Amino acid sequence: MTQVVRTIQEMMKITSKFKSENKSIGFVPTMGALHEGHLSMMQSAKEENDITVVSIFVNPLQFGPNEDFDDYPRPYEADLAKLIKTGVDYLFYPSVEEMYPNKLDMTITVGRLANVLEGEKRPGHFDGVVTVVNKLFNIVQPTHAYFGKKDAQQLVIIERMVEEFNHNVTIKPVDIIREQDGLAKSSRNIYLTETERQEAVHLSRSLALAKSLYEDGERNSKVLIQSITKYLEDNVSGEVVEVAVYSYPELVEQQTINGQIFISLAVKFTQARLIDNVIL
């Protein structure tokens, strides 16, 4: 049975005990509205560790003034049922007041890695992510922490944070989990209308088109970007916000492709901004 922990003090007491017994702790930080992508990370955590901890915390610091913090889905009972079924040992479920009892006097600012792609479109977003993940790592004291490759920029930033702040944790990247038709699993997919849901499959198909061009020898980023953009504009009603080609994990924009790259895109539908990517 999954034990629900609501206070920082209790969570630290539990994990400190396990650490003193040399037991490994697998940690999956989430904002809830759990889907198969989250469950895949939890399954990996269970298989690779003695104890599994999942956090559900909708972090206000990573939402901009016009973003969906108040409306973000919070299906607690459904989420808890999934955790119990998966066999997670602990759910850390703090309130905003528990995590941030006072206005923060100290903040962490992410540099260059947050000034491109999603970070450029959402100023301050990754500062909020890094702040809360730092707190969660100090509270849970995980041996391994699991993050999805769907948020590839976030993954790079977390990995760099662990390196630069000397966190004693190993980051475990987990592949994107997709619907049968190819749409990347996301908590925001519930905001799509029926028509938009049918169109959303074209995000992954546009990336497959770019991958095909790449495998045929295309190394001009502009050609790949134009191909993806035209395909999306022809097949979705949403606004194509961004299509970009960056080196990975350095996140430097590429004109001519050389080495491992990251092709990312963002499409704004009526009530949901969806992202997807492929690493080649």
Which active-site residues does the annotation give? 38
| Annotated binding residues for ATP | 31-38, 148-151, 177, 185-188
Helix extents (H) in 73-112: 76-86, 96-99
Reference 181, options 156, 154, 166, 199; nearest CA is 199
- Look at residue 276 and give its three-state secondary structure: strand
Residues of the binding site for beta-alanine = 62
Binding residues for (R)-pantoate: 62, 154
Amino acid identity, residue 127? D
- Token pair of 280, please? 């080649």
- What is the residue type of 12? M
Q: What are phi and psi of 266, to 5 degrees?
A: -140, 135
Binding-site residues, in ranges, read 31-38, 62, 148-151, 154, 177, 185-188
| ∠ CA 121-125-128, rounded to 5° | 170
Question: Assign residue 96 a region: left if phi > 0, alpha if psi is -120 to 50, beta otherwise?
Answer: alpha
- Going across the sheet that includes 25-30, the strands are 3-5, 90-92, 51-56, 25-30, 144-148, 170-174
